[in-house]
Amino acid sequence: MTAYELPEGFVLDEDRLLEAVRALAAKRSGPTAEQVLLAELLDHLLAGRAFETPREAWRARLGLRGRVAELTRAMPGLRFVEGDA
């Protein structure tokens, strides 16, 4: 059982996560070119999705954050770093 809940009908697997990370990383340059901020990633993955309430949107972001953390732990070459905020 997972400690997070994804939005209804939302699927995030390794391929989709890697595709999103690569798309965002391609837009960066310099010393941070290989870093993708979690907030950016969540915005990218949830783009175009409508939520009825702010609470629903927040729960979706929390659920997706949990899934991203879970997937990156199992994916070579990716690392999830907890923020301090």
b vs e for 7-33, b when ≥16 Cβ sit within 10 Å of the residue's Cβ? beeeebeeeebeebbeebeeeeeeeee
Structural domain total, the chain: 1
Predicted confidence band at 63 (pLDDT cuts at 50, 70, 90)?
very high
Asked whether residue 9 is assigned to any structural domain, the reply reads: no
Asked whether residue 6 is assigned to any structural domain, the reply reads: no
Question: Which residue type occupies 73?
Answer: R
pLDDT score at 1: 38
Asked whether residue 84 is assigned to any structural domain, the reply reads: no
Q: What is the pLDDT of residues 16-52, one digit of tens each?
A: 999 999 999 988 888 877 788 899 999 999 999 999 9
Domain that holds residue 34: 14-74
Predicted confidence band at 57 (pLDDT cuts at 50, 70, 90)?
very high
Asked whether residue 85 is assigned to any structural domain, the reply reads: no
Residue 23: CB partners within 8 Å, gap ≥ 6? 44
